[in-house]
């Protein structure tokens, strides 16, 4: 039987406060959530990761095509080392991790992280090549945005992608995200510089452009 990693009823946010004379203190806040096993959509479901997901996620992280889209090299660590890292990360209360399921199989991974300024960052990948381009990523993003706004009570969801990752750009645009800026990033995949595009979707629709 697979071990389901425990779902916590809060996300822990660490806020650094600067007070005179330059002393830094930390305040920890909890964003309360409902206990949630699975978020169900029309064609996809988002569920907490299980220990038996490790090998599948490991294969996705070793895929050169996915790595190039994200500007980082394919994972080269051993499976046992990756297993330890995944299980620790999936139990980390400051990151919310979901396995994306469609057609009764795990097809990808989504994360919510960097909780600050009443918002968070969203990351997503569809690992199964034969299931890309079918709208599953768009539906998963829409489910995550709704979860952030309605369950977590956040006001903004942010995301980014490299300029050559047109698939992810289309997903963001289809889901109502607005491009708010760009920057230069050095890809660890091929040591070249690429443009990184920043997107945001706010509850209520008002978005401020980045400088």
**Residue-number span of the structural domain to which 143 is assigned:** 10-155
Domain count, the chain: 1
Question: Is residue 106 one of the residues assigned to a domain?
Answer: yes
Please report how the helices 136-146 and 166-174 are oriented relative to each other, as an axis angle in degrees rounded to 10. 50
Please identify every stretch of the chain with a pLDDT value under 50, giving residue numbers as ranges. 1-35, 211
Which two tokens mark 24? Answer: 């830094």
CATH number at residue 64: 3.40.630.30
| Cα torsion 202, 14, 85, 196: sign | positive
Look at residue 182 and tell me if it is in a domain. no
184 within some domain = no
**pLDDT given at position 209:** 53
| Calpha distance 101→104 (Å, rounded) | 6
Q: Is residue 170 part of a domain?
A: no
In a domain, 204, yes or no: no
Q: Which residues, in sequence order, are bridge partners of residue 126?
A: 108
Alpha-carbon distance 24 to 138, whole Å?
Answer: 40
What pLDDT is recorded for position 110?
96
The reported pLDDT for the residue numbered 3 is 42
CA distance 93 to 88: 10
């Amino acid at each position: 039987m697979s071990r389901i990693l425990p779902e916590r009823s809060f996300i822990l946010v660490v806020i650094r406060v600067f007070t005179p004379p330059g002393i830094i203190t930390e305040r920890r806040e909890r964003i309360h959530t409902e206990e949630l096993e699975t978020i169900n959509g029309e064609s996809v479901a988002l569920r907490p990761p299980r220990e038996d997901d490790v090998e599948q996620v490991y294969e996705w992280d070793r895929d050169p095509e996915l790595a190039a889209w994200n500007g980082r090299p394919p994972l080269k660590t051993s499976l046992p080392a990756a297993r330890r890292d995944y299980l620790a990360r999936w139990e980390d209360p400051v990151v919310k991790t979901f396995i994306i399921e469609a057609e009764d199989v795990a097809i990808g991974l989504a994360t919510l992280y960097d909780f600050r300024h009443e918002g968070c960052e969203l990351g997503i990948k569809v690992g199964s090549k034969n299931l890309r381009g079918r709208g599953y990523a768009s539906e998963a993003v829409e489910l995550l945005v709704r979860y952030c706004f309605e369950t977590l009570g956040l006001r903004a969801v942010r995301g980014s992608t490299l300029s050559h990752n047109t698939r992810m750009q289309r997903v963001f645009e289809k889901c109502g995200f607005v491009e708010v800026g760009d920057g230069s990033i050095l890809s660890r995949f091929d040591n070249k510089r690429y443009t990184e595009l920043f997107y945001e979707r706010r509850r209520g629709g008002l978005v401020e452009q980045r400088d």
